[in-house]
Structure 1
Amino acid sequence: MNEKKHLLTMTALDLFYKNGINSVGINEVLKASGVAKKTLYNHFVSKDALIIATLEYRHNVFLHWLKQSLANSTTNEELVRYLFNALTRWFNNEVPELTSFNGCFFINAAAECAGQSEEVITYCRFHKGQVRQLIASHMQTIDEQLLDMICLLKEGAITSAYVSQDLQAAQKCLPWLMSYMKK
């Protein structure tokens, strides 16, 4: 990615994630980045194209972080512990590559762009599917019901951590999941 395009993507991601996609206009991105409007439109044909670029960048960073967080899990129990402990670190701003926790960028983007941009919604679905596949790839034995529960509890923990400021929401999922896996 060229330097100006990267700068625009990073600036927009920071602003969108902190303030919301619909609250941030192109002029704000231009002012914060110091890039000329013509340069922005040479790289992005629309605000939606810039939004997709921010989603792609965040997707790659998030998946890399999650892969590293789950890398040493060898059992379903370890997978669950590693996943929910990693989420707790993220919620508590202990994951510099994900920046300060402000909820899930993909949940936020999907909510903000519903009815406005099918491309954004589709990309958010893609991201969630990729996260699910990554989690499944670390399961010792694939159990679709357990995978569904892990993913739903993960999403619920993220939402609770953001909306209710319950930074221990992920930890609250662990006892229940561990108990379920012992059955």
Structure 2
Amino acid sequence: MDKQELLVRTAFKLFYTRGIHAVGVNLVLAESGIAKRTLYHHFPSKEHLVEAAVRYRDRSYRAWLISRLENVPAGKSALLELFNAFDDWFHSRVPDIDHFNGCFFINASAEFGDRDNPIHRACAEHKADITASIRRHVDELALSKELTEEITSLVVLLKEGAISMAHVQGNLNAALEAKGILKNILNSYASE
């Protein structure tokens, strides 16, 4: 792993566990063992490092989630598998994406609330990409356009709600509860 990658991975782990504003570059340097000059060679500011950490998490998170959804048939099975994947994540059974500490994208966008900020925009892009992945599986259900939009929104809201319930309230079974709700609704509209 090169020094730039080591800096990004170290920064991500610290930002994810402690919060972005709570972590200074000196801690990132101490944890990574990399010199300050090297850090500023790759990242002109802490915000550039934060944005790189967001993009790193986006790549690793999407790769994990897409691989989970590709292991089952598209459509209803994949939509339900989404919540099995989250259940594994909430219970920290996914070493590829670290232990569960809430949604890094929600956390980062809250710390950089200006929607024009590059960090906030990167978080919004991630959420839009995940929604598009969900939409592709809802499209497989061959429902009307209106119902496809509604089911897509429902899945996204269940997903976001489960993440929030797991992190904020400590309900680590929230993903399976959301899956049960979704399964009941999908059974009304689509067969396996």
Same fold per TM (> 0.5)?
A: yes
Mind listing any 5+ residue stretches in structure 2 that lack a counterpart?
143-147
Number of residue-to-residue matches in the alignment? 182
Return the alpha-carbon distance in structure 1 between the equivalents of residues 114 and 126 of structure 2. 19
Return the alpha-carbon distance in structure 1 between the equivalents of residues 20 and 120 of structure 2. 13
Return the alpha-carbon distance in structure 1 between the equivalents of residues 45 and 21 of structure 2. 14
Whether the 8 Å CA contact 2:112–2:120 is kept in 1: the answer is yes
- Once the two structures are superposed, the pairs formed by residues 124-143 of structure 1 within 5 Å of their partners are 124-139=123-138, 140-141=140-141, 143=148
Superposition RMSD in Å? 1.6
Return the alpha-carbon distance in structure 2 between the equivalents of residues 61 and 81 of structure 1. 21
Normalising by structure 1, we get a TM-score of 0.94
Mind listing any 5+ residue stretches in structure 1 that lack a counterpart?
none
Q: Percent identity?
A: 40
Tell me how far 1:116 sits from its aligned partner: 9.2
Tell me how far 1:10 sits from its aligned partner: 0.7
Whether the 8 Å CA contact 1:7–1:33 is kept in 2: the answer is yes
Tell me how far 1:75 sits from its aligned partner: 5.1
Return the alpha-carbon distance in structure 2 between the equivalents of residues 33 and 89 of structure 1. 28
Return the alpha-carbon distance in structure 2 between the equivalents of residues 74 and 96 of structure 1. 24
Tell me how far 1:82 sits from its aligned partner: 0.4
Structure 1 segments (4+ residues) deviating >4 Å = none
Aligned to 1:145, the other structure's residue is in SS state helix
2:178 aligns with one of 170, 173, 176: 173
Normalising by structure 2, we get a TM-score of 0.90
Tell me how far 1:117 sits from its aligned partner: 6.9
Return the alpha-carbon distance in structure 2 between the equivalents of residues 21 and 80 of structure 1. 32
1:5-63 Cα deviation digits (max 9, x unpaired): 01110110010000000100011111111111111000001111101111111101111
Return the alpha-carbon distance in structure 1 between the equivalents of residues 86 and 128 of structure 2. 18
Q: What is residue 145 of structure 2 aligned with on the other side? A: none
1:159 aligns with one of 135, 142, 164: 164
1:116-155 Cα deviation digits (max 9, x unpaired): 9711110100000011111222331361110100011101
Q: What is residue 44 of structure 2 aligned with on the other side? A: 45
Return the alpha-carbon distance in structure 1 between the equivalents of residues 84 and 33 of structure 2. 38
